Chain A
Amino acid sequence: MKALSQKRRHPLAAIALLLMGLLVTGGLYAVATTVNQAKADTTTYSASDVEEGGKLFAANCATCHGMGASGSQSGPSLVGVGAAAVDFQVGTGRMPMQMNGPQAQQKPAQFNEEQTKKLAAYVASLGPGPAIPEAGVLDEKGDAAKGGELFRTNCAMCHNAAAAGGALTRGKFAPALAGVSGQHIYEAMVTGPQNMPVFNDANISPEGKRDIITFLKQIESNGSPGGADLGALGPVSEGLFVWIAGLGVIIAFTIWLTSRTS
């Protein structure tokens, strides 16, 4: 103790202290991140997660989905929908549902990540179902061109070739995909929320899904190479634009050109 107190005014003491601090925080950070990664990769949840999730479920979801998520007249059974379905529906704010309508609308998420994870743990414990995807398929490093082909064949008829969204029957719609996280896109494909069909691994392999996410993220970050994209809605917005803005400006000029006579 005495040696330490004697050396604390040593010229190198501050540097040693700084190094020690860096090592400790760096080490802790490394441990913490590996812990996080390990958790994301595994589909097993702790018993306390499941228990807490059950409580959250009973308080927030059971009114419609029934106790034990067995379903009621107002909501379907959630046995076997898997953690991916919960993470998508709750994580994008679609559940708990704000109002009845043709389909659940997106809104700011009502539960934080921790609570969502617990709810997912609870629902996953009820029966086997699609798990939350591993980070490897979400790295956006797939083949964008192949993903584009898959997207045009499987997704564009509802979501539009530029992923700008589109109408379905009776007030339902396929949303635009800009700003949707890769994880949610993947989960939507494997669980088929709302009116979306399920694209299981036999339909589109995990590798193909990775390509699709890569494609979507790439066209999103590319922006519109030809100028403002007018909503990427195709000829309707182009037609509106030429009639209103194009002809409008030209009419203003014609009025100006003929205003000084008559």
Chain B
Amino acid sequence: MSSTTTPDAPAFVAKTSGGRITDFVDQRVGGSGILREFGRKVFPDHWSFMFGEVALYSFVILLLSGTFLTFFFDPSMAETHYSGSYTPLKNVEMSVAYSSSLDISFDVRGGMFMRQVHHWSALLFVASVSVHMLRVFFTGAFRKPRELNWVVGSVLLILSMAAGFTGYSLPDDLLSGNGLRIIDGVIKSIPVIGTYTSFFLFGGEFPGTMIISRLYMLHILLVPALILLMIVMHLFMVVVHKHTQYPGPGRNDGNVVGYPLGPVYAAKAGGFFFIVFGVVALMAAFFTINPIWNYGPYDPSPVSAGTQPDWYIGFVDGALRLMPGTIGDWKVEQIWFGHMFTFNVLLPALVPAGILFTVMFTYPWIERWITKDNREHHVLDRPRNAPTRTAIGMAGFVWYSVMWAAAGSDLIATHFHVALNDVTYWLRALFFIGPIIAFFVTKRVALALQRKDREIALHGRETGRIVRLPHGEFIEVHAPLDEYKRYKLVGFESPVPLPAVPNEHGVVDRKEKRRAKLSRWFFEDRVAPATPAELEAAHGHHGAHEAVEAAASEKTLSH
């Protein structure tokens, strides 16, 4: 061995300088092992799997554009007179925060564009997080082992709303001040501690002189840091769990069918970042968002018509708008022990959001308890194949949407030429019955789609070709599916209700009875997938296919 004479000589010397540098780095950080592991990571390809990516990319855009904005924004509530180039506000008394926001818009080169990029990507960020969560919910991707990642995702949704709201309030224009005033009112409606909390937050009576700089610190430091931390945890768990996949031939809970990260997926994902950036940039260039110059400086006395929060806080605003001040003769605002209890603010502001988020956080455990399903799931459910879950999801979505629509009740009234009062009455009714209607309609639609699937699996697709048989009868020819398509229609789980099981003492306790009842509610309406025997019977012998058809139609005729 020649290496004994020169023990320090490297065993391998790369030919190019690039290779030598790579080798140098690799020997010190061990990157090639990581790259080999990550590069072989397989991702299934489906458009609905890309919303999480959209959220991640909009967050990156937010960090970049936000950093630009911090160079010019001054979160001070000191008073000044505007001296920038927007004449309708010339010499108007305003806070330094508002004045610097106007300067970003009108006097900083590229400032308006960056402000609009920041705001549009903020709206897109929360929207893509929401759609991503809806996709995960409706496909059952939150099931074991991903429950904790679902919780992290839910925390991310709340954090993204917090980031959005703290940012919305920073320019200190009339609109954002009105929004803060509502938050102040909600805080003050909390019994006992409300007033103290409000004074603590605002550093005195609303609006005070502290709130903008405090929100600024939360907006640029704490909330983004938490979001970043959660994103890291979220992605780490995605790597640990591997990605889920839609059902299909050759796909099961033990594999992932798709493309490796390197090079196909890395190229796709990298390109997709620029696509998202491009879409946001085009929106920012051609469509104005939050025209703060229209609203004027914040002053607690004026409230403009059309004052709404950004869309993600809309459902809370809508709930506040729907709440009546009196129910019959009973005043919702009560005076007890000489103190005012403003339930007409407290209830709508906290209860619907509280219910939504509680159900959201706990749903994986609720379903796991009902189904007693302790297996790992890596193959997704098609929404129709889990009718009750899909129906629950749609009920929640409709409930949210009713509150969401209520936040725009005034615009619904003016643009559809209906009375504002009627809009409110209808939405109040829908607040209660909308989710119930949505539940039943969705469940029936899902079951009907399952029956349709079963029908197609057994008898094939209707071709629209009508054939007249020698004896004069007309039949429609059905084309059988190929095996791959048929697999999608028959290869799913269809659980049956799980009756109550005695515990280790041999007793069926009350909790178990309740669980059994819920299990029946979940699974009693079910359409079983076509079994191999049924498939065999339906089209085992090719020539007799028409005969089966004819028999079926005879049966219908004989009714």
Where the two chains meet, the residues of A that have a C-beta atom closer than 8 Å to any C-beta of B are 102, 144-145, 148-149, 152-153, 156-162, 164-171, 173-174, 215, 218-219, 222, 224-230, 232-239, 241-243, 245-247, 249-251, 253-255, 257-258, 261-262
Given contacts A168-B420, A246-B120, contact A226 B410 (CB under 8 A): no
By a CB distance below 8 angstroms, the chain A residues around B306 are 160-161, 164, 166, 233-234, 236
Q: 1/0 per residue B154-177: CB within 8 Å of A?
A: 000000000000000000001100
With A and B bound together, what is the CA distance between A225 and B288 in angstroms? 8
Min C-beta distance of A97 to chain B, whole Å: 16
By a CB distance below 8 angstroms, the chain A residues around B127 are 242-243, 246-247
Q: 1/0 per residue B274-297: CB within 8 Å of A?
A: 011001100111111111011110
With A and B bound together, what is the CA distance between A251 and B49 in angstroms? 11
Given contacts A160-B304, A226-B291, A230-B288, contact A236 B87 (CB under 8 A): no
Docked-complex contact B299 and A152, CB < 8 angstroms: yes
Min C-beta distance of A56 to chain B, whole Å: 31
Min C-beta distance of B283 to chain A, whole Å: 6
B192: interface (CB < 8 Å): no
Min C-beta distance of A162 to chain B, whole Å: 4
Given contacts A169-B420, A228-B287, contact A234 B46 (CB under 8 A): no
Residue of B nearest to A247 (CB): B127
Query: Which of B309-317, B326-334, B429-437 lines the interface with chain A?
Result: B309-317
Docked-complex contact A167 and B120, CB < 8 angstroms: no
B441: interface (CB < 8 Å): no
B112: interface (CB < 8 Å): yes
By a CB distance below 8 angstroms, the chain A residues around B286 are 227-228
Given contacts A145-B88, A233-B411, A243-B311, contact A226 B112 (CB under 8 A): yes
With A and B bound together, what is the CA distance between A249 and B291 in angstroms? 24
Residue of B nearest to A147 (CB): B88
Number of A-B contacts (CB under 8 A): 204
By a CB distance below 8 angstroms, the chain A residues around B105 are 225-226
Residue of A nearest to B175 (CB): A234
B12: interface (CB < 8 Å): no
By a CB distance below 8 angstroms, the chain A residues around B422 are 171
Given contacts A157-B303, A224-B288, A258-B50, contact A166 B279 (CB under 8 A): no
Residue of A nearest to B269 (CB): A257
Task: Tell me which of A158, A167, A243 contacts B420 (CB under 8 A).
Answer: A167
Q: Main SS of chain B's interface residues?
A: helix
With A and B bound together, what is the CA distance between A228 and B286 in angstroms? 6
B116: interface (CB < 8 Å): yes
Where the two chains meet, the residues of B that have a C-beta atom closer than 8 Å to any C-beta of A are 45-51, 54, 86-92, 105-106, 112, 116, 120, 123-124, 127-128, 131, 174-175, 248, 258-259, 268, 271-272, 275-276, 279-280, 283-291, 293-296, 299, 301-311, 314, 407-411, 413-414, 417-422
Docked-complex contact A257 and B309, CB < 8 angstroms: no
Given contacts A226-B105, A250-B276, A253-B272, contact A238 B290 (CB under 8 A): yes
Task: Tell me which of A144, A157, A161, A218 contacts B294 (CB under 8 A).
Answer: A161
Q: Main SS of chain A's interface residues?
A: helix
Docked-complex contact B124 and A246, CB < 8 angstroms: yes
Task: Tell me which of A145, A237, A257 contacts B50 (CB under 8 A).
Answer: A257
Residue of A nearest to B283 (CB): A246
Min C-beta distance of B503 to chain A, whole Å: 46
Would you list 16 pairs from A and B whose C-beta atoms are within 8 A, ordered by A residue? Answer: A144-B88, A145-B92, A148-B92, A157-B303, A161-B296, A167-B410, A167-B414, A218-B88, A225-B86, A228-B288, A238-B123, A238-B289, A242-B120, A250-B54, A257-B271, A262-B248
Docked-complex contact B174 and A152, CB < 8 angstroms: yes
Residue of B nearest to A151 (CB): B296
Docked-complex contact B305 and A167, CB < 8 angstroms: yes
Residue of A nearest to B179 (CB): A235
In the complex, which of the residues A144, A250, A258 has the most CB atoms of chain B within 10 Å of its own CB atom? A250
By a CB distance below 8 angstroms, the chain B residues around A249 are 279
With A and B bound together, what is the CA distance between A246 and B287 in angstroms? 11
Residue of A nearest to B411 (CB): A236
By a CB distance below 8 angstroms, the chain B residues around A245 are 283
Task: Tell me which of B48, B276, B294 contacts A232 (CB under 8 A).
Answer: B294
Given contacts A173-B413, A227-B287, A230-B287, contact A239 B276 (CB under 8 A): no
Residue of B nearest to A162 (CB): B294
Min C-beta distance of B106 to chain A, whole Å: 7
